Structure 1
Amino acid sequence: MTPPPTGAPQRPFPPAVGDRRPWTDVPPALRAGLEQRLGATVTGAVTCSGGFSPGVAARLQLTDGRQVFVKAVGSEPNAHAPELHRREARVAAVLPSRIPSPRLLTVLDHHGWVVLAFAWVDGTMPTQPWRAPELNRVLSALGRLAAAPAPPAVAAVVPAATEFLADEFRGWRNLTQQRNAGLPLDGIDPWAAACLDALAEVEAGWADAVRGDVLAHCDLRADNILLTRAGVRLVDWARACLAAPWLDLLFLLAPAPLHGGLSPDAAFADHPAAAGADPADVTIALIALTGMLVDRSRRPPPPGIPTLRRFQAAQARAALAWLRNRRLPRHL
């Protein structure tokens, strides 16, 4: 089934925001422990917006004049969140200097709470929808990231994408199982519903399509990117994995709102990370990524992250718009 061309979705794109907790919610013993590690007392804390973590994200002012960024989370309300912070700490500790990321200062992990302190980065998140000048800055940074295999210290810490994404990159197959069980698929895009079996069949080949040895951030969105005077910084590395050099490019472009005439196809094709990429592999990965977003957007919101599903639904619409304009396998 060949769909007619379709443009970018016209509905407003929701911001990536979650429930934030104030710095004072961190247990006093951990706040004191962090001050001891940093060698200075906290004199002020400003909560930072952006991102979905159901915990603390704050800029701390210290008595010695320094500023640090701290993220902290406990087991309530989301029991999965502390492990994400632990994973991010393991990755951040081994990132080489060529990776444009904030420097990890210290980590505390006590009584169900995990606290990460980073060097403060004076930057701003990109404007949404994406505009060409800012997008080009980020695409340039991605080119440097994808230019070489991950160093051994990183490869020893992060999983392969074929392992890390195995539970996520089966969205269309999950939806076919729900349909076959007689469950309604309310809200599914009509074209996707009509092509569900074919999408699930193609999706099943995703692992071979994305296999590679390049470090991928695997969660690139505007709220995980800071634009500074000197360049670009990528933050929140909890989902890092080893993958094909173009996977991050796909994660950035496929579900993103683009301004005006910006085209994900053109931006992808012109990027050095996509040089040599098999178009069929890219399409398979795009199908898998889109299926993940459609599937996840229909689930109840995770505890403490009430806005995530609405955001994923908007991402799914954007990814579907690109998917329907690509050269798809003949049976689609």
Structure 2
Amino acid sequence: MSGHAVGVRIPYAQAPARVQRWVEGRLGGEIAEVVDCIGGMSPGPAARVRTASRAAAFVKACGTDLNPNTPVLLRAEARVLAALPEHPSLPRLLEVHDDGDWVVLLIEDLPGASPPAPWRHADLARVSAALADVRSVLDAVELQDLPSARDSSPIFLTRWRELADRLDLVDPWWADHHDALADHAERAAGLIDGDAVVHWDIRADNVVLTADRTVLVDWGQARRGAAWMDHAMLALDCSMSGSETSTAKLARTDPVLRERDPADLLALAAAAAMSFVSRSTEPAPQSLPTLPATSARWAESLRAYLADAVDHTS
């Protein structure tokens, strides 16, 4: 039940010719090497590219024909990356192309890879430390019109409530525990509220580990919310993508999470899992055929933590 989120991306070679010409123009030569990347839920290409003269970059792109929402996320990511200062844990934006249809981000090429799932102790420690180290830097970032988590995070606000009308479509465990989980999920909206700039999508496949850097990538979901939320997302991903360290154990050892009431993380997990279960019953969005199954896997992976945590708080 573990593993990275994997959608269905088109390869870089299938990106429009005008996109490929723009990339070549910005890198100063014809692309000689392409390494298509998997992972994430975007249908657009994500690739490491290199010219014959060794100029290199990471390309993320998508057009409205593939999915109307993904270019919006790329525009949001471009705004955030442009505002981020230099820091070892923050990626550097090189160029942006936006023709109103296709949006293309050129980002520094990172000579590394995402940590494998299941998470390993050492990798979790690296990411937890990076989140703590980058906090003061993010607190100084000036970002206008960054969405508020309290206003734009349906997973923690409203979507979990939809499960009540879909319990006949899912495993009976969710019906048996619905009311207890809902009582916890009710608290989530208040817990996510805050003024801090947060990544908001910390998962194993949104981190790149190099020999000397721990880089937080994919900033399209960035929000203004509670500063502890990125640590909470990391703890939830211990269950969602699998880990040698359980969500509950990371909550006891992470320097930020261990200062929180354990019921706070339970409230977030309950809302997230109920939202994932509900979404698993819906048709797949355009060009995102794996989303229902991925949502079902995430919910099921959180279930062991939820069952134990609810028992300890009841």
TM-score by length of 1: 0.85
Superposed, which structure 2 residues align to 1:26-105 within 5 Å? 26-98=15-87, 100-105=89-94
Q: Once the 2 structures are TM-superposed, how far is the Cα of residue 303 of structure 1 from its aligned partner?
A: 1.8
> Is the partner of 1:93 in helix, strand or coil?
helix
Summarize the Cα distance change of 1:25–1:92 in structure 2 as closer, same or farther, 3 Å threshold. same
- Given candidates 220, 223, 226, the residue that maps to 1:244 is 226
Change (3 A) 1:201 1:112: same
Runs of 4+ in 1 over 4 A off after TM superposition: 327-330
SS in structure 2 at match of 1:107 = strand
| Deviation for aligned residue 1:152 | 4.3
Tell me if the contact between 2:66 and 2:286 (Cα under 8 Å) persists in the aligned partners: yes
Tell me which amino acid in the other structure corresponds to 1:224: N
Match of 2:159 in 1: 171
Match in the other structure for 1:6: none
* Counterparts in 2 of 1:150 and 1:298: CA distance versus 1, 3 Å: farther
Match of 1:206 in 2: 188
More helix by share: 2
Counterpart mapping for 1:112-191 below 5 A:
112-147=101-136, 150-154=139-143, 156-166=144-154, 169-176=157-164, 178-179=165-166, 185-190=168-173
Moved more, 166-175 or 282-291: 166-175
Give CA-to-partner distance per residue, 1:249-289, whole Å, 9 cap, x none. Answer: 222222434445x2221212221222532333333222222
Question: Contact 2:160/2:272 (CA < 8 Å) preserved in 1?
Answer: no
Q: Say if 1:148 and 1:214, in contact at 8 Å, map to a contact too.
A: no
Cα separation, 2, equivalents of 1:315 and 1:158: 27
Rounded Cα–Cα distance in structure 1 between residues aligned with 2:151 and 2:133: 25
Q: CA deviation at 1:89?
A: 0.9
CA contact (8 A) 1:149 1:213 kept: no
Letter in 2 for 1:131: R
| 2:25 alignment partner AA | Q
The answer to whether the 8 Å contact 1:143/1:271 transfers is no
Distance 1:169 1:106 in 2: 35
1:166-188 Cα shifts (integer Å, max 9, x gaps)? 46532331112x25xxxx52223
SS of the residue aligned with 2:215? strand
Counterpart contact for 1:172–1:196, Cα < 8 Å:
no
Are residues 1:284 and 2:267 paired? Answer: yes
- Aligned partners of 2:84 and 2:141 also within 8 Å: no
Match of 1:324 in 2: 307
Q: CA–CA distance in 2 between the matches of 1:110 and 1:281?
A: 43
Measure the CA separation in 2 of the matches of 1:328 and 1:170.
Answer: 24
Cα distance in 2 for partners of 1:166, 1:304 equals: 21
Q: Matches of 1:257 and 1:30 in 2, distance apart?
A: 33
User: Gapped runs of 5+ residues in structure 1?
Assistant: 1-11
Equivalenced residues, count:
312
Secondary structure of the equivalent of 2:130?
Answer: helix
Two-structure CA RMSD over aligned residues (Å): 2.4
In 1, the alpha carbon distance for the partners of 2:79 and 2:221 equals: 11
- Residue matched to 2:209: 227
Structure 1 counterpart of 2:179, one-letter code: D
Question: Which residue in the other structure is 1:19 paired with?
Answer: 8
Contact 1:210 1:281 in 2 (8 A): no
Q: Report the residue type matching 2:249 in the other structure.
A: A
